[in-house]
A and B are shown apart, each in its own frame.
Chain A
Amino acid sequence: MNTILFIIQKEFIQVFRNRMMLPIIFVVPFVQLLILVHAATFEMKNIKVSVIDLDMSSSSRKMISKFQGSPFFIIKNTSFSDKEAQQEMKKGNVDMILHIPYGFERKLVKENSAKVQVVINAINGASAGLISAYSMMIILDFNRELLVDFLSPATLASTQNINVTTSYWYNPKLNYKTYMVPGILCLLVTIIAFLLSGMNIVREKEIGTIEQINVTPIRKVQFIAGKLLPFWIIALFELAFGLIIGKLLFSIPIIGSLWLIFLSAAVYIFVILGFGLLISTMTNTQQQSMLVSFFFMVIFILMSGLFTSIESMPVWAQNLDRINPIAYFIRIMRMVMLKGSNFYDIQESFYSLVVYALAIISFAVWRYRKVT
């Protein structure tokens, strides 16, 4: 037991003697939260529209003014030429073209239906979907007002619509920050724990100090425990620091129990440290370890449900996500922080992490060899 303490003590001396370490621990969470939360947003504002109004009627003007009145759209230019509008889109000056054909109003009055064309720049598929949804809403709204204008009150009453009102639970204002912060805290802890542990043992291999350690009576369990615990402590500290920043600067809601957050984090960090350890037993240089860690980390992050929802992934990917520790932890963090879930609600994810931690650490310890 004392041996472990001495190794931990040695690791802490080394960690804090590393000049990059303190900035990494304190600045990274701050910058990440600041940038990701403010910059990485799904909300679309200021969609630039080019309008081609060939009808020049009161109805077409009404529709255009509806777009103008919406906070999402800005009418960037108007023209009568398809070509000109398409040129603008090619140059990247507009995101969408609204094309109102000649005879729009006449058709509306005479045939009770008319067509408009919406052309959307879909280089970014996600935003194209949003633009389409927003413009549909405006056109529908326009449609409803037309009905009021044209139909007699009697017929209007008979075509009583079903009015759907939506309320968003657990994030009533659909605040993007509220949704992102728990996930970004997960990433923060993950990156710190994964990279530090993955690099650490490999570093001893690379500079040769492991030779000297291996001929001492240190048992490998002691050595590994002494290696993992310092980074476990640092990662937990990092989470606490991130939560404080999130609370003070972004006033993120923490509805559930802090104890539950830290209990889950404590288990989760062991999974990540185990992963890093496993990689460091299989590689010989810090560069190799870095590359392998990145490979896993990028896949785990992309599939974690942080940016895209897991439920919309294909079934095979959802099954694959069962081995993605980040996905479990993000789920727990969101449930506890936003929804106030208790232990009973998260127990499935929690126990999965416990099993995961035990499995991966035993495997890593078994893989670590003092003798060749």
Chain B
Amino acid sequence: MNNLSIIVSNISRNYDSVKALDDVSFEVPRGELFGFIGPDGAGKTTLFRILATLVLPDKGTASVEGFDVVKDFKKIRKILGYMPGRFSLYMDLSVEENLSFYATIFGTTIKENYDLIKDIYRQIEPFKKRMAGQLSGGMKQKLALCCALIHKPAVIFLDEPTTGVDAVSRMEFWEMLRRLKESNITIMVSTPYMDEASLCDRVALIQDGKIMKISRPEEIIADYRYQLWAVRSGRFFELLSDLHAYPGVHSVHAFGQSAHVAFNKSALLMDDLRRHLIHAGYADVVIEEIRPAIEDCFMELMSQ
């Protein structure tokens, strides 16, 4: 028995004339935390739905834990935990009722698999009599994760679990995923937030239905070819276009309050640029050298 949990080969799926997925292939070993990063409409949800046996691929094959997603869908549904992007538990049932409903339809009980969800469920247990519709965004996600885990699945698919959740809850959520890995569950998660990529074992960058790159987050950063400066000034939007026009600059992206300027190594001198900018009227300009973060790498990959 090989160690691969998810195998996807040459999957394509169209919606009418729109190519949602175009010849996608990848493999995920058992117990890995595998992330999908990409903008909205990149095809993440379609891919998740194919692997969750909800959508049939037009072309190609895929298997989860050795079961084909088309032929053995019944077997997959027994070992799969799926958390759709949209909150999809019963709003008019309480936390406890939701959880025990999902436990019973998998032929198990909350007690039986309590160990697996203990850490997560403890956080929402004080509210177990509350209707799911009245929970906060972060708590809804925790409940959804509990429901996806209650039957002790071998693989879980989490489609944008942190979208619309506050920053603290997001970090907590990722912390929970890292802990789940210890139970040897394969976790596939998608997110539009690039900063979350560094928390995965491996990430795939997906855009327009194609996978641009699959790599470990450290490797993606190591592969970054350009040098980076962060430039800050009061007149931010003019600064972006002026930087773009400066000869030798490869790309400029806005990151919060600063502009990240990428250029070929040693093509620019910091003093030259500072002088140029001060001359152009940016008296308060601050430039400093920075190390590339995963966002810089993705911006670069996506502009290719």
**Residues B104 and A217 in contact, CB atoms below 8 Å apart:** no
**Residues B82 and A6 in contact, CB atoms below 8 Å apart:** no
Name B147's closest neighbour in chain A (CB-CB).
Answer: A212
Interfacial chain B residues near A18, Cβ < 8 Å: 92
Complex Cα distance A2/B105, Å?
8
Complex Cα distance A3/B103, Å?
11
Tell yes or no: B89 within 8 A of A by CB: yes
Scan A204-241; emit 1 where CB is below 8 A from any B CB, else 0.
00011111111111100000000000000000000000
**Residues A214 and B105 in contact, CB atoms below 8 Å apart:** no
Tell yes or no: A62 within 8 A of B by CB: no
**Residues B77 and A372 in contact, CB atoms below 8 Å apart:** no
**Residues A217 and B54 in contact, CB atoms below 8 Å apart:** no
Interfacial chain A residues near B147, Cβ < 8 Å: 212
Known: A2-B104, A211-B84, A217-B77. A371 touches B55 (CB 8 A): yes
Name A7's closest neighbour in chain B (CB-CB).
Answer: B105
**Residues A14 and B52 in contact, CB atoms below 8 Å apart:** no
Scan A1-30; emit 1 where CB is below 8 A from any B CB, else 0.
011001100100110011000000000000
Count the A-B residue pairs with Cβ separation under 8 angstroms: how many? 70
Report A93 CB to chain B, min CB distance, Å: 55
Complex Cα distance A370/B93, Å?
23
Report A368 CB to chain B, min CB distance, Å: 14
Q: Is the interface of A mostly helix, strand, loop or mixed?
A: helix
Interfacial chain A residues near B282, Cβ < 8 Å: none
Scan B74-104; emit 1 where CB is below 8 A from any A CB, else 0.
1001101010101111111100010001101
Interfacial chain B residues near A13, Cβ < 8 Å: 93, 97
Interface residues of A in 26-64 (CB under 8 A from B): none
Complex Cα distance A284/B54, Å?
16
Interfacial chain B residues near A10, Cβ < 8 Å: 90, 93, 97, 101
Interfacial chain A residues near B92, Cβ < 8 Å: 14, 17-18
Known: A371-B53, A372-B55. A208 touches B105 (CB 8 A): no
Among the listed A2, A3, A209, A218, which residue makes an inter-chain contact with B90, where contact means beta carbons less than 8 Å apart? A209
Complex Cα distance A212/B80, Å?
11
Report A8 CB to chain B, min CB distance, Å: 12
Interfacial chain B residues near A371, Cβ < 8 Å: 53-56, 73
Interfacial chain B residues near A207, Cβ < 8 Å: 88, 91
Known: A3-B104, A3-B105, A218-B105. A370 touches B54 (CB 8 A): yes
Interfacial chain B residues near A218, Cβ < 8 Å: 105
Interfacial chain B residues near A209, Cβ < 8 Å: 88-90
**Residues B88 and A208 in contact, CB atoms below 8 Å apart:** yes
Interfacial chain B residues near A210, Cβ < 8 Å: 88
Report A274 CB to chain B, min CB distance, Å: 23
Scan B43-64; emit 1 where CB is below 8 A from any A CB, else 0.
0000000001111100000000
Q: List 21 A-B contacts (CB under 8 A).
A: A3-B105, A10-B93, A17-B93, A207-B88, A207-B91, A208-B86, A208-B87, A209-B89, A210-B88, A212-B82, A212-B102, A214-B54, A215-B82, A216-B102, A216-B106, A217-B77, A217-B78, A218-B105, A371-B54, A371-B56, A372-B55
Please report A residues at the B interface, Cβ cutoff 8 Å: 2-3, 6-7, 10, 13-14, 17-18, 207-218, 370-372
Please report B residues at the A interface, Cβ cutoff 8 Å: 52-56, 73-74, 77-78, 80, 82, 84, 86-93, 97, 101-102, 104-107, 147
> 8 tightest A-B contacts by CB?
A208-B88, A215-B82, A6-B104, A211-B84, A208-B86, A212-B88, A217-B77, A211-B88
